[in-house]
Amino acid sequence: MAPGKVMDAEAKSNYYREIVTKAVNDTFHLRDEAQDINIAHLEIACDAAVEFAHRFNEHNPDKKFNPRWLYHCVQSILSIYFKPELMLDGKIERLTAAAAAAATHAAQQDSQEEEECADTAEPSAPQHAHVVDLSASPDDTAPQKDAAAAVFRRPAVPAPPVREGSLAWTEDDIKQMVQLKASGLTHKEVAHRMGRGVSSVENKFGRVMKDGDWAAFIAECGLRNPTGIKRKTHDKTYKEDSDGDLEDDEDARPPPFKKARSAPKIPHKSRQQCRAQ
């Protein structure tokens, strides 16, 4: 038909009927090649619908519709009659009695085939493996959620082994600690880098900051010692023992607790003294 020719309603209907018939005849050889005759019928109808959509859009440029949408509509409607087991999820009221019986029989056959193939190493693929099941169960969506979560899950970085707290501090360890503190790291971060406990780093850093032997290195690293090299008060030097506490300093100790004055005690009189009075 010429593109500019106008047809009446009857001629247009016959023309479209011829298009559909030709498309069906061109693809009808699928009946001989398909493993399932119902799948062949379904594919033939969908192909005919797409061919019809393309021809309709050519002659009706102002009333075009999406061929893919038509394909899905035809597939969804005809699947109820040709392959109802594809859409069977519980009970479907749209299924006729014959279609429901066929779907139940097909489901029983599939379950029997799965039981027979359960003991084999490589179970045989189902007969309709090329058909895509549009219904997804909750179990099918679980692996997809796990895979999506795994994309954003950062790999675990193993922490360095924590060394024993009783391990002696060497000169290199002290220098490394001071340099890390000078870079702006916290005690916790320094302990993580050096593989030591946080309390051990805090105690050692506090002692080094008060030690005059490390004053030059501390100043070289850019750290300021606010407390001075050694604290002196009244010509007495505060020294630290192994636990970091102050010793040999009477002024540093808290004042002794003074008890409050109590009321004078009244002497206790015996019964005889009371009677004599």
pLDDT of residue 266: 62
The reported pLDDT for the residue numbered 168 is 84
pLDDT at 163: 52
The closest of 27, 39, 142, 22 to 83, measured between CA atoms, is 39
Q: What is the pLDDT of residues 27-57, one digit of tens each?
A: 666 666 667 778 878 888 888 889 888 989 9
CA–CA separation, 22 and 266 (whole Å): 129
For residue 262, the model assigns a pLDDT of 60
Q: Is 171 a residue whose pLDDT tops 80?
A: yes
Distance, in Å, from the CA atom of 86 to the CA atom of 135, rounded to the nearest integer, reads 8
- DSSP for residue 237: E
Residues 101-141 pLDDT 10s: 665 666 676 666 666 655 554 444 444 444 444 444 445 44
Work out the pLDDT band at 242, boundaries 50, 70, 90.
very low
Domain positions in the chain are 9-117, 171-247
Rounded CA-CA distance 74/114 in Å is 31
Give the 3-state secondary structure of residue 149: helix
User: How many alpha carbons fall within 13 Å on the CB side of residue 121?
Assistant: 0
